[in-house]
Amino acid sequence: MATKVGVINKALVHLGQPPMAGPSDTSTWVKRVTSVYVETVRSLLEQHPWNFPAERAELARLDEEPVGRDYAYNKPADCLQLNLVNTTGYPDDVSFTDYEDEGGRILADADAIYAFYIGSGWMTKEGSWPQVFADAVSAELSSVCAPIASKSVNKGESMYAKAQRALKRAKSFDASQKPWRELPAGKWSRARRTGARYNTEGH
């Protein structure tokens, strides 16, 4: 299970620095890494539609009439990254694109809207992060701090490349953990299957 201390310590090791002695450690390198911890975690959560922290919510309709749309809905207050918007609440329904994301609201003509999003609470849920994501955060922390650790351009580029590889592994793992789902059949597809079976049977 990942921990904040563990994530920071792995970044320190990447940088060739000793691990922190404990939560109260205020040594120079610990302070340097921890000073960019929050923004680094937020950046990684925001730059990809991760599955592991995704939350689902039916959005609250606002009592207003937006220009050009029938309805306005409040986005979740803790939304860092909006992964998907649809009208069914099914995570694999990506067919709905007729909306605008504007001023903290979702504007649409549909009378019910669901959002799949990454909430800010995941910034401090290290214990629920997959280890590969925690490793990507460590690698990114070391990449951010690399220019301070060494004036060598090659060293900085090496840290950046390591961070990119770690991020790629985290994305690949995240994608592999998403279960396969089939949306319930609509009337049209049910009728089509029924017709195909009817014809096959020769009636």
Q: What are the pLDDT digits (tens) for 136-167?
A: 999 999 999 987 765 655 776 889 999 999 99
How far, in Å, CA of 71 to CA of 51, rounded? 28
Sheet of 114-119, strand order: 54-58, 114-119, 79-86
How far, in Å, CA of 195 to CA of 48, rounded? 41
Give CA 81 to chain center in angstroms: 6
Interval 171-194: pLDDT, tens? 999 999 875 444 444 443 334 433
The predicted structure's pLDDT at residue 106 = 97
The predicted structure's pLDDT at residue 191 = 42
Q: Which two tokens stand for residue 201?
A: 């049977």
Name the band, by pLDDT with cuts 50, 70 and 90, for residue 121: very high
Name the band, by pLDDT with cuts 50, 70 and 90, for residue 24: confident
Name the band, by pLDDT with cuts 50, 70 and 90, for residue 130: very high
Name the band, by pLDDT with cuts 50, 70 and 90, for residue 12: very high
Give CA 33 to chain center in angstroms: 22
Q: What is the mean pLDDT of the chain?
A: 87
Domains in the chain: boundaries: 4-47+126-176, 54-121
Interval 73-114: pLDDT, tens? 999 999 999 999 999 999 989 999 999 999 999 999 999 999
Q: Nearest CA to 160 among 14, 8, 13?
A: 14
pTM of the predicted structure, to 2 decimals = 0.81
